[in-house]
Amino acid sequence: MTDKTLLRVENLKLYFRASKGVVQAVDNVDLTLSTNEAVVIIGESGCGKSSMAKALLRLLPRNVDTYSGRVFLNGTDVMALDDEEYRKEIRWVKMSMVPQAAMNSLNPVLKVGDQVAEPMMVHHGVTKEAALEQAKAMFQRVGVPVDFVNRYAFELSGGMRQRVAIAMALVTLPDLVILDEPTSALDVLTQANIMNLLKRIKKEISTSFILITHDIATSSELADRVAVMYAGQIVEVSDSYRFFSAPLHPYSAKLMASVPKLRAKSEPDYITGQPPSLIKPPTGCRFAARCHKRFEKCSEEPPVIAQDGRLVKCWLYT
């Protein structure tokens, strides 16, 4: 591995206990990420993409059944750290997150400036004044007027709140920011603004991004590489250029075909059927039941095949 590798995830598993059995939300996921790279994880709802973000940041609910695998950040295995070490050294120091519906995740009774300053005080032990200065600098960077530090969340528009949430994730200058659906609740113009902001930040500071989304069209604004998730597994990883022009996995192709396009004449098509239950996922390829290219082999678990630097988990490419 070259020293440019920032994050390497191996065999990451996150299973939850539910009343009907064990939900295999994240099942043996491998992923690598370089410094200053943006990887987009796309998939339908319920495919485990948000659980994967939680697994990486160790923000786990109480009903965890299995949580295993190895996550190397700058070469150190962070899964080996205990919770207190992880909290002190990794979370919000090296890795931070903009949660889903971030605009509604701000504390309504704290000033937004204080909320952005808090990670600096907790993790870097600076005084409140110094932290507020940092928060102001970060506000400027994300395009929020500096005097907004004294406002409350309800006094800001949706786009501004989203920017504040991004400022909060960036204030400690982490190596990696995980964005969970950062634009899905926003209007078209605000969405474009936020994507512009993320692009600019990516150029200005060498942060890496993991962008989790189901909005394929918007994801193409930021993606260097694309990982497609289906039923808890990553089925394809590809550079964005080749992915958006010719996806490999049948599921990726179907997913791309379902995107309504403004400038193309093609009719979008939908995927028949529904994703399998993650409690007892089918053996073999999990997409087989909905796949138009399935053949006998598909009843066996497909291997991950490397093809010109792209990875695809499908029997078609053996």
Provide the binding-site residues for another protein, judged by CB under 8 A: 44-45, 157-159, 187-193, 195-196, 199-200, 214-224, 240-241, 243-245, 254-256, 258-264, 267-271, 274
Which one, of 202, 240, 248, 233, lies nearest residue 219 by Cα? Answer: 240
> Count of residues for the chain?
318
Burial zone of 214 (CB within 10 Å; 0-12 exposed, 13-18 middle, 19+ buried): middle
Q: Which residues pair with 64 in a beta bridge?
A: 16
- Comparison of 216 and 231: residue with beta carbon closer to another protein: 216
CB of 240 to another protein, least distance (A): 5
CB of 75 to another protein, least distance (A): 28
CB of 181 to another protein, least distance (A): 12
Which one, of 235, 199, 189, 284, lies nearest residue 41 by Cα? Answer: 235
CB of 152 to another protein, least distance (A): 18
Spatial distance between the Cα atoms of 132 and 136, rounded to a whole number of angstroms: 6
Give me the phi and psi of 275, to 5 degrees please.
Answer: -60, 150
CB of 193 to another protein, least distance (A): 5
- Comparison of 109 and 264: residue with beta carbon closer to another protein: 264
Listed in sequence order, the DSSP H helices in 155-204 are 158-170, 188-204
- Comparison of 40 and 285: residue with beta carbon closer to another protein: 40
- Residue 36 contacts residue 208 (beta carbons within 8 Å): yes
- Comparison of 9 and 52: residue with beta carbon closer to another protein: 52
- Comparison of 64 and 201: residue with beta carbon closer to another protein: 201
